Amino acid sequence: MTTLLDTLNRNFAIKDKLHFVEGSGGLIIAEVTTQHGNASIALQGAHVMTFTPAGEQPVIWLSDFAKFGRGKSIRGGVPVCWPWFGPHVSDPKLPGHGYARTVDWRLIQVQSLSDDRIRLEFELEESTATRAQWPHHTPVRNIITVGRALEVELATTNACDTPITIGDALHTYFKVGDVRRITIHGLEGCDYLDKVDGGKRKQQSGAITIGQEVDRIYLNTGSNCEIRDPSLQRRIKISSSGSHSTVVWNPWIEKANKMGDFGPDGYLGMLCVETANAAEDVVSLAPGQVHRLVTRYEVAPL
């Protein structure tokens, strides 16, 4: 019997650069190796799980206690939040952050670029279950390019004949040496909604530091920010387009303990900085319009 794994390896594998394996919980994983860096991507969720530039520490955090399985979201990596961010606006029974991260995506194209980067293009598979949650025809692709930098582009097309509003986020978990020592730059002066203070609107003054639970939607943000990490002696440079919000999240001790997939000190080694369109920054798409949410991560010495 030919399995999906066989088919993927037959149609898309590139010798020494790309192959497909069955990972924990039966998930199918694309393993990408280039001279510039390595990555692994689960087909479920088109979810980047790891990314490590050559000679560097991993850039992306994946919990040692992550649970892997059909229909489960993975704690770490780059979850895709789509077609809404956070709780659904009117139906609390629908999953937080949408369903894109827990359903199958189809690999539709692989390109080996001339500078040895590898690009994979996935499309979300619509089904009766997805249509029950989102009765709109808005095909979405996740295009992931692995090289010295990691680039992720989430492209949504409104194929309906009425305008559609979506929220989205590339909910990236970054690995940091010690979250208590990092600073985040590039959001100074921005307004944010403070989810740990009843959603109050506040204004950021100076760089962001983390010393307690932080859960904020920064609004109307620019296209560059960076994490400075003195413990790992590096900066993670984040550049984006098609994004109006930046979400900064660390659950801290109590919330991480309740979540059950962080492990005892997991929260100290991670930080989410999410390239997003959330809250009042949701995107309205005219019929036929394409919206591209793009983010790019690169490391540099501090």
Active-site entry in 47, 88, 97, 171: 171
Residue whose Cβ sits closest to ligand BG6: 249
Q: How many helices (H) and strands (E) does the chain have?
A: 3, 22
Q: How far is the CB of 216 from ligand BG6 (least distance, A)?
A: 8
| Alpha carbon distance 173, 266 (integer Å) | 11
125 part of the active site: no
Active-site entry in 226, 244, 274, 291: 274
Residue of 289, 297, 43 whose CA lies nearest to 166: 289
Check residue 249 for interaction with ligand BG6 (CB under 6 A).
yes
**Residues numbered 203-242 forming contacts with ligand BG6, rule: CB under 6 A:** 215
| Alpha carbon distance 228, 58 (integer Å) | 15
Q: What are phi and psi for residue 65, nearest 5 degrees?
A: -110, 15
Binding characters for ligand BG6, 262-301, by CB under 6 A (x = yes): ------------x---------------------------
Q: How far is the CB of 17 from ligand BG6 (least distance, A)?
A: 31
Tokens representing 205?
């003054």
Q: How far is the CB of 84 from ligand BG6 (least distance, A)?
A: 12
Check residue 97 for interaction with ligand BG6 (CB under 6 A).
yes
Please give the helix or strand (H or E) that residue 274 lies within, else none. Answer: strand 270-277
Phi-psi domain of 76 (left: phi exceeds 0; alpha: psi -120 through 50; beta: other): left
Q: How many residues bind ligand BG6 (CB under 6 A)?
A: 9
Q: How far is the CB of 132 from ligand BG6 (least distance, A)?
A: 20
Q: How far is CA 86 from CA 3, 81, 276, in A?
A: 35, 8, 11
Check residue 73 for interaction with ligand BG6 (CB under 6 A).
yes
Binding characters for ligand BG6, 103-132, by CB under 6 A (x = yes): ------------------------------
Q: How far is the CB of 86 from ligand BG6 (least distance, A)?
A: 6
Phi-psi domain of 98 (left: phi exceeds 0; alpha: psi -120 through 50; beta: other): left
- E runs forming strands in 44-177: 47-53, 80-81, 105-112, 118-124, 140-146, 150-157, 164-166, 168-170, 173-175
Check residue 72 for interaction with ligand BG6 (CB under 6 A).
no
Check residue 175 for interaction with ligand BG6 (CB under 6 A).
no
Instruction: Note if the bond before 83 is cis, omega within 30 degrees.
Output: yes
Q: Scanning the structure block, which residue is given the tokens 């859960």?
A: 215
- Interacting residue with ligand BG6 among 195, 228, 237, 292 (CB under 6 A): 195
| Alpha carbon distance 214, 183 (integer Å) | 13
Check residue 247 for interaction with ligand BG6 (CB under 6 A).
yes
Q: By C-beta, is 59 or 247 nearer to ligand BG6?
A: 247
Tokens representing 75?
């704690």
Q: How far is the CB of 254 from ligand BG6 (least distance, A)?
A: 12
171 part of the active site: yes
Residues that bind ligand BG6 (CB under 6 A): 73, 96-97, 171, 195, 215, 247, 249, 274
Active site residues: 171, 274
